[in-house]
Amino acid sequence: MAGYSDVLIGLQYGDEGKAKIIDLLANDYEIIARFNGGCNAGHTIEKNGIRLALHQIPSGVFYPNKTLYIGSGCVVNIDKLKEEIKDVEKEGIVLKNRLHISSLASVVQPHHIIIDSLTAGSIGTTKNGIGPCYADRAARISKERLLNIRMGDLLEDEDYYFGKIEENLKATIEQFEIDFDLSKTMATLKDDFNAIKEFVEVDTLFMDKQINMGKNVLFEGAQSFMLDVTKGTIPCVTSSNTQVGAAYVGGDLNPKYHRKTFGVAKVIMSRVGNGPFVSEFGGEKSEKYCMYHKREDESGRDALALLASEDDFEMGIGMRLLSNEYGASTKRPRRTGAFDLVQLNYAVKTNGIDELFLTKCDLLNLYTKTNKQKMPLITKYQLDDQKIDFVPASSRTYYRVQPTIEYRDIFSGDITQLETVEELPRELKEFVKEVEDYANCKVMGIGTGPERNDYLLF
Ligand code: IMP
């Protein structure tokens, strides 16, 4: 009997807390697989006092018997992956024969990182070379210079393909006229590849064979739906397809094994980098501020006083401090905003989400300390004289959308210690019901606190 595959994605702008849900679902699967992105993703997981910052290795490392797969839709930063593997193994966690990297996954080459740093401009990328790497994958060659180098290529002929990487690096150094230690970079890259090459999977039918042995797969999305390169808030998006269907392209399995789709949404929303965010506290001012400030700039401020401010921008800073919304990879302040039901519904419909998980519900009590003392909710979008129920194709248009904000009563107590959903405050149960009705989708669970076990399932 063949197994099945499920897909889990974030429905907003990333950082919804997907790793925690994967952790709680992981028992049902033998394989946890990534299908998009690279080391631009980042999450910290913790178990028995061991804290790991993961960027490329799929979640589920703490389960010794799970297979971890990095699919062909991913782009691999070899140097950083080597470090990540070292960090994981240092904790006594075995990856040998567990971690498999598709031969078809593209290598993030040194010139990609240079180009990302020099040209990505106002998108506010993570500067990991993700965009230039996907661009080279699509461009394939430039005047007979081979642009897309895959992990399997390096395995097949190191001398030849490292030569190609060096050619690309030289061309970029010349193009931008920069000082760069080419030989040191190449030497490190070769050494690091040698340290990780045992993990490269040459069998391009690996996933198909696994599922036909009865194994179940959970595909773990990176970056989230609103950052999808086709459907997101273009151009301020990542460079890969983050939507559910992409799991069956970049995850190296055909779609007939698909069973179920999970979506994760954070009830106080956040976004890192630029781009439309209609429910942002402090709007445009906050967007600009977050681009040019660091965590240290606000760490000494009185969070509760800020939260109580009449000014939404100040309130947003208080919310960020109290909900600790700073980038895991970049440490940048994340822009924060109210829960947007219109956008959620759009994401649920576009991706065919079967079950929703709402994270950070414990923090909704912060709204009782705001000036309005109620929870704001975006319930409608108005574009000029029209009501719309979708995210516009153009970001310029999306910036013009006027959201309708409705206010709901919210609980003031601490829900972290509650053990059953029956004990949840009435206001939270009503909120969950409102989400289910609005998006016509079941809520399977909620996050009730920062720890691994702080969640309740419905
Ligand atoms: P890139 O993926 O590094 O090219 O960055 C493109 C945009 O996606 C930027 O706004 C980043 O901040 C955002 N981004 C990339 N990865 C993540 C993530 O894992 N969480 C949240 N935002 C991300």
Cα atoms in the 13 Å half-sphere on the side-chain side of 369: 16
**16: which 2 tokens?**
């919804």
Instruction: For ligand 1, atom 17, name the residue with the nearest CA.
Output: 223
Q: How many CB atoms lie within 10 A of CB 440?
A: 10
Whether the CB of 57 sits within 6 Å of ligand 1: no
> 413: alpha, beta or left, given left = phi > 0 and alpha = psi -120 to 50?
beta
Going by C-alpha positions, the residue among 399, 381, 394 that lies closest to residue 344 is 381
Q: Is 236 in the pocket of ligand 1 (CB under 6 A)?
A: yes
Contact assessment for residue 74 and residue 36, using Cβ atoms and an 8 Å cutoff: yes
Contact 313, 285 (CB under 8 A): yes
Q: CA dist 261 to 61, 273, 344, 351, 442, Å?
A: 22, 27, 15, 8, 11
pTM score, two decimals? 0.96
Atom 22, ligand 1: which residue's CA is nearest?
Answer: 14
Helix axes of 182-196 and 78-90: crossing angle, nearest 10 degrees: 50
Distance 123 CA to ligand 1 centre (A): 9
Burial of 168 (0-12, 13-18, 19+ CB in 10 A): buried
Q: What is the position in ligand 1's atom list of the atom closest to the CA of 131?
A: 4
Of 126, 229, 334, the one to substitute when testing ligand 1's pocket (max ligand atoms within 8 A of C-beta) is 126
Q: What is the pLDDT of residue 45?
A: 83
How far, in Å, from the CA of 124 to the mean position of ligand 1?
8
Is there an atom of ligand 1 within 6 Å of 221 CB? no
CA triplet 34, 362, 417: central angle to 5 degrees? 105
Which atom of ligand 1 is least distant from the CA of 274? Answer: 10
Contacts of 377 (CB under 8 A, 6+ apart): 338, 339, 341, 405, 406, 407, 408, 434
R_g over Cα of the chain: 22
Question: Which residue has the CA at smallest separation from atom 15 of ligand 1?
Answer: 40
DSSP code string of 311-363:
SHHHHHHHHHHHHT-B-TTT-PBPEEE-EEHHHHHHHHHHHT-SEEEEE-GGG
Decide whether any atom of ligand 1 lies within 6 Å of the 223 Cβ. Answer: yes
φ/ψ region of 248 (left if φ > 0, alpha if ψ in -120 to 50, else beta) reads alpha
Ligand 1 pocket check for 273: Cβ under 6 Å = yes
Q: What is the largest CA-CA distance in the chain?
A: 66
- State which ligand 1 atom lies nearest to the alpha carbon of 330: 12
> Is residue 391 exposed (0-12), middle (13-18) or buried (19+ Cβ within 10 Å)?
buried
Question: Nearest C-alpha to atom 5 of ligand 1 is from which residue?
Answer: 125
Ligand 1 neighbour 424 (Cβ under 6 A): no
Ligand 1: centre distance to CA 126 (Å): 6
Whole-number pLDDT of residue 329? 64
Q: Answer yes or no: are the C-beta atoms of 149 and 164 closer than 8 Å.
A: yes
What is each CA distance from 432 to 10, 12, 70, 347, 451, in whole angstroms? 18, 17, 34, 17, 21
Compute CA distances 184 → 152, 216, 433, whole Å: 23, 43, 58
Choice among 23, 43, 116, 192 that is catalytic: 43
- Asked about 15 being catalytic, the answer comes back as yes
Q: Please indicate whether residue 276, judged by its CB atom, sits closer than 6 Å to ligand 1.
A: no
Report which protein residue has its CA nearest ligand 1's atom 19: 41
CA distance linking residue 63 with residue 57, whole number of Å: 13
pLDDT tens per residue across all 458 residues of the chain? 899 999 999 999 999 999 889 988 999 999 999 999 999 988 888 888 888 889 999 998 989 899 999 999 999 999 999 999 999 999 999 999 999 999 999 999 999 999 999 998 888 899 999 999 999 999 999 999 999 999 999 999 999 999 999 999 999 999 999 999 999 999 999 999 999 999 999 999 999 999 999 999 999 999 999 999 999 999 999 999 999 999 999 999 999 999 999 999 999 999 998 999 999 999 999 999 999 999 999 989 999 999 999 999 999 999 999 999 998 766 789 999 999 999 999 999 999 999 999 999 999 999 999 999 999 999 999 999 999 999 999 999 999 999 999 999 999 999 999 999 999 999 999 999 999 999 999 999 999 998 888 999 99
Q: Is 238 in the pocket of ligand 1 (CB under 6 A)?
A: yes
φ, ψ for residue 334, nearest 5 deg:
-85, 140
124 lines ligand 1 (CB under 6 A): yes
- Give the whole-angstrom CA distance, residue 394 versus residue 160: 43
Instruction: Kindly write down the DSSP assignment for every residue of 243-271, as one continuous string.
Output: SGGGHHHHT-S-GGGEEEEEEEEESSEEE
- In contact, 231 and 18? CB cutoff 8 Å: no
Task: Find how far residue 203's CA is from the centre of its chain.
Answer: 27
pLDDT at 331: 79
Task: Mention every residue, 6+ apart, whose C-beta is less than 8 A from residue 389.
Answer: 342, 345, 346, 381
Q: Say which residues have a Cβ less than 8 Å from residue 181's Cβ, sequence separation at least 6.
A: none
Using a 6 Å cutoff on CB, does residue 128 contact ligand 1? Answer: yes
pLDDT value, residue 447 = 97
What one-character DSSP code corresponds to residue 401? Answer: P
